[in-house]
Amino acid sequence: MREAYREALKAFDEDEVPIGAVVVQNNVIIGRGHNRVEGLRDPTAHAEIIAISAACNTIGDWRLADSAIFVTVEPCLMCIGAIINARIEKVVYGIREPKFGALGSVLNILEYKNFNHTLKVEKSNIFDEEITALMKRFFESKRNRTHSVGNAS
């Protein structure tokens, strides 16, 4: 989770929602990513998608069997779809995402039993305080900028 948090810090520094992810196979990081939605002007450029793409490029296959993804924030529905399609075995996530989380916060995609792939999920408590503080700091700075821009006229 430490490496995923480092990726989240990169996103924060780039003025992106500070979420980071790493894909690990055989105890080796094979893919890293952080949110790049604003920078790439791409709504699919979530940390998980970027980390999965990097991992696929690293191993030369779209199937990431026997791998795990560590992500600082509970994945959204789009990212869970990519995780399932990539055949990732396990998701370890940091804090819950009450507006978009697809592993229990908004909906629980794992309740649907028709998928051709099963996914293990683990809620980590490592770095929870740091991740929460980073997210709060990011969104507070966004709100402050919005209010100061609105008050400038």
CATH of the domain at 80: 3.40.140.10
> Model confidence at 92, in pLDDT bands (50, 70, 90)?
very high
Residues labelled as active-site residues: 48
Summarize pLDDT for 109-131 with one digit per residue, the tens. 888 888 888 899 999 998 999 99
Is 31:51 a contact under the CB 8 Å cutoff?
yes
Angle, helices 128-151/2-13, rounded to nearest 10 degrees: 10
Length of the chain measured in residues = 153
Q: What one-character DSSP code corresponds to residue 61?
A: -
In a domain, 95, yes or no: yes
76-89 tens-digit pLDDT = 999 999 999 999 99
pLDDT at 9 over 50: yes
The confidence band for 17, taking pLDDT boundaries of 50, 70 and 90, is very high
Q: Which domain holds residue 47?
A: 2-129+137-148
Q: Is residue 153 part of a domain?
A: no
Show the tokens assigned to 53: 């793409």
Number of domains within the chain = 1
Contact between 69 and 92 under an 8 Å Cβ cutoff? The reply is: yes
Sheet holding 120-123, edge to edge: 28-34, 20-25, 67-73, 90-95, 120-123
